[in-house]
């Protein structure tokens, strides 16, 4: 199990996905974080779908090892506010960092992903987000939409893929009534079920790549994870 160190370990917890591409993309982000923190034990676990889960991930550390959990989640919904707290209850030395978003570095990556789509002045931009039963998480995503709109100098509507309205297909249809073309910004962490759903619901509107894909993770994203860890020490 290794030896206990006084430096807290960083346990990155993703949602989990059955997509091999999504798994590889998230692992690449965690690998990038580990390279930048050579003196910190960095590991990856999952809150759903994949193993190891949170409990197994924590059990893999030596007893007494302090751990900072960094959720690789874009907003503070059920998994952050309830699930992680339940799964770490009674464990000493475990801190839970805030979710990744909202954060300007996520917006910067959204803009980089939009660049290949050549967004024109007459185009409308819709932000595709997963959606949550916790509207505080949805509001986090709406705030990212406002931040993106401020950077692009135009209104950015939000389209949800589940649990909230308007659905992405409805948001795209609305936007198309007053624009030459609709472009979908992709506020999803990695390829997987929701990305595939976004492509289907967007119809003919082009969809940007997710924040993580088969290329090197954006430097801002790995630094964001590191900052969430350091701020929670």
Reading the block at residue 185, the tokens are 């910004």
Mean pLDDT score of the chain, rounded to an integer? 94
What is the three-class DSSP state of 223?
helix
Q: Is the pLDDT of residue 3 over 60?
A: yes
Indicate the CATH number of 104-202 among 3.40.190, 3.10.520, 3.40.50, 1.10.3470.
3.40.50
Q: How many CB atoms neighbour CB 92 within 10 A?
A: 8
User: In this predicted structure, what is the pLDDT of residue 138?
Assistant: 95
Rounded to an integer, the average pLDDT of 93-115 is 97
Hunting for tokens 């969430």 — which residue is that? Answer: 228
pLDDT at 218: 98
Q: Could you write out the DSSP letters of every residue in 133-197? A: SSHHHHHHHHHHHHHHHHHHTS-EEEEESSSSSSBHHHHHHHHHTT-SEEEEEE--SSSSHHHHH
Give me the pLDDT at residue 73, please. 94
Higher pLDDT, 77 or 71: 71
What pLDDT is attached to residue 190? 97
pTM for this entry: 0.94
Q: Once rounded to an integer, what is the mean pLDDT over residues 96-118?
A: 97
The CATH class for the domain spanning 9-101+215-231 reads alpha beta
Report how far Cα 15 is from the mean position of its chain's Cα atoms.
9
């Amino acid at each position: 199990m290794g030896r206990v160190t006084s430096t807290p370990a960083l346990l990155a917890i993703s949602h989990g996905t059955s997509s091999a591409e999504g798994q590889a993309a998230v692992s690449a982000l965690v690998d990038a974080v580990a390279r930048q923190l050579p003196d910190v034990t960095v590991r990856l676990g999952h809150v759903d779908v994949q193993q190891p889960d949170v409990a197994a991930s924590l059990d893999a550390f030596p007893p007494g090892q302090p751990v900072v959990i960094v959720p690789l989640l874009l907003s503070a919904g059920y998994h952050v506010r309830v699930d992680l707290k339940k799964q770490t209850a009674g464990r000493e030395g475990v801190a839970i960092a805030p979710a990744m978003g909202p954060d300007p570095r996520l917006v910067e990556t959204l803009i980089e992903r939009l660049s290949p789509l050549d967004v024109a002045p007459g185009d409308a931009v819709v932000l595709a987000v997963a959606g949550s039963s916790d509207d505080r998480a949805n509001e986090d995503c709406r705030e990212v939409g406002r931040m993106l709109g401020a950077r692009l100098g135009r209104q950015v509507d939000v389209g949800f893929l589940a649990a909230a309205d308007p659905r992405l297909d409805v948001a795209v249809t609305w936007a198309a009534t007053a624009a030459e073309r609709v472009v979908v910004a992709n506020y999803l962490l990695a390829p997987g079920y929701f990305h595939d759903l976004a492509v289907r619901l967007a119809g003919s509107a082009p969809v940007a790549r997710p924040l993580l894909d088969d290329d090197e993770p954006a430097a801002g994203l790995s630094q964001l994870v590191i900052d969430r860890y350091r701020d929670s020490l």
